[in-house]
Structure 1
Amino acid sequence: MNLPAPLLVGLGGAVGAVGRQLVSVALTGREEAVPRGTFAVNVIGSLVLAALTAASPGGDVALLVGTGACGAFTTFSSFGVATVDRLERGRWLAAALNAFGTLAACLLAVVVGWGVGLAL
């Protein structure tokens, strides 16, 4: 592509941020134990980044898709805030489900994504 690294990351980040917003709007509903939008983007992003990493494209693709798009698409901060919010409101089971459910699903997505990436 021959674009400077910050521009590649920025372009990927723009796509990832818009994608995150679209997924969040599509999946957000009533008060939930596990926020569906945040959960979905973190699981999908984990899968895509693992597949990309295992496929080892390197260079521009890694910057554009990995650092930029996946970095902006996923959201650890929203996950953390949602978990602490549930704790603050005394919803211990919802907080635990969000924390451990998200972690387990993201790790499983990494295993699956890694396998996909190695197969490419």
Structure 2
Amino acid sequence: MTWIWVALGAGIGAVCRYELTVLGKIISPKLPFSTFFINIAGSLLAGFLTGCQVQGSWSLFLLTGLCGGFTTFSTFSVDTFVLIRNRQYLAAGLYWCGTVVLGMVAVGAGLWLGTLTV
């Protein structure tokens, strides 16, 4: 039954992301302002919900579902902040740097692999 809460939240989050992306391309077709806004807004919401200690079905719906469907960057941000709050500075630094660097490497690799199929 818990997966229903996650699925509902993720569906709403994904639709919100899509609509904001479409709007962002109309407003600024050359710059990814919509992605920037979505990632920052999702991080703000995830941090707020984490700070409010939302639990149970609400946590599944809002944090895992809505924020997860809206952006995975919010989860990355919360995870990093929790490590820092827990004074796990080395782990936080490695996690942050590793995610950013490997994310860029993965994008580059994916773009390269994608061009091989064309």
TM score, norm. by length of structure 1: 0.58
Amino acid across the alignment from 1:31: K
User: Distance in 1 between the 2:30 and 2:42 partners?
Assistant: 23
Q: Percent identity?
A: 38
Q: What does residue 48 of structure 1 align with?
A: 45
Structure 1 or 2, whichever has the larger Rg, is 2
Residues 32-59 of structure 1, C-alpha deviations (whole Å, 9 max, x = no match): 2xx1111111000000000000101200
Runs of 4+ in 1 over 4 A off after TM superposition: none
TM score, norm. by length of structure 2: 0.58
Say if 1:13 and 1:72, in contact at 8 Å, map to a contact too.
yes
1:31 aligns with 2:30: yes
Amino acid across the alignment from 1:64: F
Residue 75 (structure 1) shift: 4.5
For structure 1, the residue ranges without an aligned partner over 5 or more in a row are: 89-120
Residues 41-84 of structure 1, C-alpha deviations (whole Å, 9 max, x = no match): 100000000000010120011100000000010155xx957xx5
Superposed CA RMSD in Å reads: 2.4
Q: Which has the higher contact order (CA 8 A, sep 6+)?
A: 1
Q: What does residue 13 of structure 1 align with?
A: 10
Equivalence map 1:1-120=2 (5 Å)? 4-28=1-25, 29-32=28-31, 35-76=32-73, 80=103
Q: Secondary structure at the match of 2:4?
A: helix
Q: Secondary structure at the match of 1:57?
A: coil
